[in-house]
Amino acid sequence: MKTLSEIDTTSKRATRGAGFSWGIAEEVGKNMRLLELYGLPGIKNLNKFLKDYKEKQFQKITLISETNYASKNPFCPITLGTNFIDQVNLLDKKLNIQISNLAFPILFIPFVSRASEIVGKKIFLKVDDKEFLFNLNQSIYSNYLKNEILENCNNINISFLENNNSFNEDEWKELYKLSEDTFVEETESLKIGAAGAGLTDND
């Protein structure tokens, strides 16, 4: 089994060899590490994408808006992803972002996961009928775990979720009341012990 370090390094070099800058290649290396850690087919999709990259004219996108449509050739997932991360602090103010016609959408996924950590919010991503929920780049929920190549998707929807507790105030108060049973009543001896080294001098 290949280590995450091997996956990172080889992916980075392959991306550079395909014509991307070293800076972009570094980002892709990190992404492949993340995808394989999540159990998603990163290497499989990257390999096919890099083979197609020189032959197919994937459309590049610089400024991302609420609605983004590639009318002819599909968007490049790497260009889209790097710009998404760069602009995410502005994009999270929008209610919903839609992207149509994206090549190799699996390669876009880790950019969204990393973006969730940057803005400190969960991000819900829908790739056609496949759903992904990213939690600050720490975990992922998905209804899709197939080991296959996705060469294209028709629609992508991105939603930024506000941070809310999963419990209500009454539940929190009940739990806190139970925790009070562990509190130790303060006595004079505890007060003296907590006062520091005032009664002793080791110098």
Task: Please report whether residue 27 resides in a domain.
Answer: yes
Residue 129 belongs to a domain: yes
Note the helical H segments in the chain.
4-17, 22-38, 42-53, 77-91, 109-119, 169-179, 188-193
What's the confidence (pLDDT) of residue 202?
55
* pLDDT, tens only, 77-91: 999 999 999 999 999
Q: What is the CA radius of gyration of the chain?
A: 24
Domain total for the chain? 1
What pTM did the predictor assign?
0.84
For 36, the domain range is 4-161
**pLDDT at 136 exceeding the cut of 70:** yes
Q: Is residue 195 part of a domain?
A: no
CA 89, 92, 93 angle in degrees (round to 5)?
A: 105
Euclidean distance between CA atoms 54 and 69, whole angstroms: 22
Confidence bin at 71 (pLDDT 50/70/90) = confident
Q: Is residue 193 part of a domain?
A: no
Asked whether residue 152 is assigned to any structural domain, the reply reads yes
Asked, for residue 121, whether it belongs to a domain, the answer is yes
The count of C-alpha atoms lying within 13 angstroms of the C-alpha of 130, restricted to the half-sphere facing its C-beta, is 16
Over residues 113-121, mean pLDDT: 95
In a domain, residue 194? The reply is no
Q: Is residue 117 a part of any domain in this protein?
A: yes
- 68-89: buried (b, 16+ CB within 10 Å) or exposed (e) per residue? bebeeebbbbbbbbbbbbeebe
Dump pLDDT digits (tens) for 37-61.
999 999 999 999 999 998 888 999 9
